[in-house]
């Protein structure tokens, strides 16, 4: 408490208080001495009576005001008089009242928010960002804290919103019309022909690789046919063993050209499929288009697509799959931020440098930032203004009663001494006036 007094007041203030006490006490002593002295002066003249009445009333007024002033801070003369030493004895109540007063009349959210708007926060922040060290420090902190923030962020509300949005999006999609449009767009752009070309290339590779197998199959068929022709009486008459035909040159001579012809014909057809100048390719295109047109009018196709949508949003596995995908994306985001911390810091520093320039030039941005600061200040003050009153009450409650009385006396004690002095003077004037009125009434 002593430290508070010494830090809060200059050295001359206690001296000024003592001087004013001496003046007020001196006036009281002079009035009392005058009253005592005039009591022993013989005579009953009007001037002597007026002087006696004035000094008497001045003494009473000075004593009354001395008692009132002293009773605020301590017991007058240490006497056990009730309802004195009001300030130290009611320290806790005064602290609570002071806290409520400050809270209700000084901590107004709108007033403080308007005062905050007078501060050029955008300009000050831009000046702070002009320092490369400050910008880099802020960027490094952001890059370090961002993965932690993402990892600890309670995303339950956001996740539920995204889940509902996905379900609503899927529910609003016309799967039949979308599928029809996609198929028609693919066909109009000729995307299906790329698939046909790929299949044709695969078929060409296959037919060439299967040339030997085709010849063996043809050879088997030729042998079987020749055996059926020579079987029976002809074979017996000629003395031919039909099994010999399977290994004979006749069958191989026949099956080889047939296999080559089959392969060559198939290769030709496959090349015709890939060649836009050949009629087979547009015929295939028309066939696919016709099939798609029929598919668009197929109710079974529409029902199947509608069933897919219903299954997607209504099946219990949807939530499980969504949870798994959400968790995977969140985990990968955190890992990516951790592994790319230096890149994130560099990007943040670059953006902060640009932000400083924008804070100076962009009035809209400056206005939005100032409004955001005002909103934060208003909300913060409204939320915590009660803590200010409690803090003041707590601080006052910790003060020593005597020390608090001394502190307050140093604040207002000098002015209170003027009250004592004025009480002595006003008492004297009032006493003289009452005496003169009394003598005037007696004279009438």
Q: What does the pLDDT look like over 373-399, one tens digit per residue?
A: 888 988 988 888 888 888 888 888 888
**pLDDT band at 183; cut points 50, 70, 90:** low
Q: For the full predicted model, state whether its pTM sits above 0.75.
A: no
**pLDDT band at 90; cut points 50, 70, 90:** confident
Q: What does the pLDDT look like over 162-181, one tens digit per residue?
A: 877 777 776 666 666 666 66
214: Cβ–Cβ under 8 A, 6 or more apart, which residues? 207, 259, 262, 263
Per-residue DSSP letter, 444: -
Q: What is the per-residue pLDDT for 4? A: 43
Measured distance CA(234)–CA(239) in Å, rounded: 8
Mean pLDDT for all residues in the chain:
78
440: Cβ–Cβ under 8 A, 6 or more apart, which residues? none
Q: Where are the domains of the chain?
A: 2-84+400-443, 190-278
Spatial contact of 44 and 441, defined as CB atoms under 8 Å apart: no
**pLDDT band at 57; cut points 50, 70, 90:** very high
Measured distance CA(116)–CA(305) in Å, rounded: 59
**pLDDT band at 340; cut points 50, 70, 90:** confident
2: pLDDT strictly greater than 70 = no
């Amino acid at each position: 408490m002593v430290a508070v007094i010494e830090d809060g007041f200059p050295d001359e203030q206690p001296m000024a208080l003592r001087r004013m006490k001496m003046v007020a006490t001196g006036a009281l002593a002079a009035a009392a001495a005058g009253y005592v002295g005039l009591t022993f002066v013989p005579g009953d003249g009007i001037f002597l009576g007026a002087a006696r009445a004035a000094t008497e009333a001045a003494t009473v007024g000075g004593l009354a005001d001395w008692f009132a002033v002293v009773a605020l801070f301590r017991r007058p003369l240490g006497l056990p008089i009730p309802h004195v030493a009001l300030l130290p004895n009611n320290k806790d109540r005064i602290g609570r009242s002071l806290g409520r007063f400050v809270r209700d009349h000084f901590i107004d959210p709108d007033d403080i928010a308007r005062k905050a708007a007078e501060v050029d926060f955008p300009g000050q922040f831009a000046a702070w960002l002009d320092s490369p060290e400050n910008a880099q420090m802020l960027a490094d902190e952001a890059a370090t804290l961002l993965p932690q923030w993402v990892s600890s962020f309670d995303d339950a509300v956001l996740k539920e919103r995204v889940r509902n949005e996905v379900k609503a999006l899927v529910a609003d999609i016309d799967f039949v019309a979308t599928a029809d449009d996609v198929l028609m767009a693919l066909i109009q752009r000729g995307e299906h022909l790329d698939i046909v070309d790929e299949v044709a290339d695969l078929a060409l590779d296959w037919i060439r690789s299967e040339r030997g197998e085709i010849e063996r199959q043809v050879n088997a068929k030729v042998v079987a046919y020749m055996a059926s022709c020579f079987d029976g009486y002809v074979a017996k008459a000629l003395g031919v063993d039909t099994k010999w035909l399977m290994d004979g040159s006749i069958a191989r001579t026949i099956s080889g050209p047939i296999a080559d012809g089959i392969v060559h014909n198939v290769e030709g057809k496959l090349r015709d499929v890939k060649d836009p100048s050949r009629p087979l390719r547009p015929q295939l295109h028309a066939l696919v288009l016709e099939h798609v047109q029929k598919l668009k009018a197929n109710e079974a196709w529409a029902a199947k697509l509608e069933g897919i949508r219903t299954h997607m949003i209504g099946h219990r596995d949807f939530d499980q799959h969504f949870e798994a995908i959400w968790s995977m994306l969140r985990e990968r985001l955190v890992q990516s931020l951790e592994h790319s911390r230096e890149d994130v810091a560099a990007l943040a520093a670059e953006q902060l440098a640009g932000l400083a320039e924008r804070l100076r030039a962009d009035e809209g941005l400056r206005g939005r930032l100032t409004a955001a600061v005002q909103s934060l200040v208003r909300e913060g003050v409204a939320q915590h203004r009660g803590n200010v009153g409690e803090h003041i009450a707590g601080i006052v409650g910790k003060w020593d009663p005597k020390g608090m009385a001394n502190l307050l006396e140093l604040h207002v004690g000098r002015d209170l001494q003027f009250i004592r002095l004025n009480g002595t003077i006003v008492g004297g004037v009032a006493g003289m006036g009452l005496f003169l009125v009394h003598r005037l009434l007696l004279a009438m």
